[in-house]
Amino acid sequence: PTAERSLVLVKPDGVARGLVGQVVARLEAKGLRLVAAELRTLTVEVAEEHYGEHRERPFFGSLVEFITSGPLLALVVEGPRAIEAFRALAGATDPVKAAPGTIRGDFALEVQNNIVHGSDSPESAAREIALFFPGLG
């Protein structure tokens, strides 16, 4: 398949800091196409579902509190190897280890407040897109 979809979030820290434009500019410049976009504040229920794989981790409560703390921008992007392409743009989870030139490497300093989320596999992309945009074909 030539086209793949990924769920991208500009997290509440990115929205609050006015970084939406720069994140969207980078993924559009890369060639990823916007399929859906919505600014919304997550409920605790949706946040716990989205981050379900981390439920047993010590930072789970803090992560849910953070991701529900204000509006985020949810995007579906599409393109060849979109999942891997966006993860490369985002950089490593820990922004201090993320390479300069990546979104996290350029804009963030703390692991929880790392600006963006991107799906990490076709399975998680399908699950996350269905959670955020149930109407999307």
Contacts with ligand DAT by CB under 6 A lie at 54, 59, 63, 93, 111-112, 114, 117, 120
Helix axes 82-90, 20-30, angle to 10 degrees: 130
Among Mg ion, ligand DAT, none, what does residue 121 contact (CB within 5–8 Å per kind)? none
* CB closer to ligand DAT out of 78 and 120: 120
Residue 14, classed as helix, strand or coil, is helix
Torsion of CA 75, 60, 42, 78, to 10 degrees: 10
> Does 54 participate in catalysis according to the annotation?
no
Does the annotation place 104 within a ligand binding site? yes
Closest distance to Mg ion from the beta carbon of 71 (Å): 21
Does the annotation place 86 within a ligand binding site? no
Secondary-structure percent of the chain, ordered helix, strand, coil, rounded to 5: 45, 20, 35
Does the annotation place 93 within a ligand binding site? yes
The binding site for ATP consists of 11, 59, 87, 93, 104, 114
Q: Which residues are catalytic?
A: 117
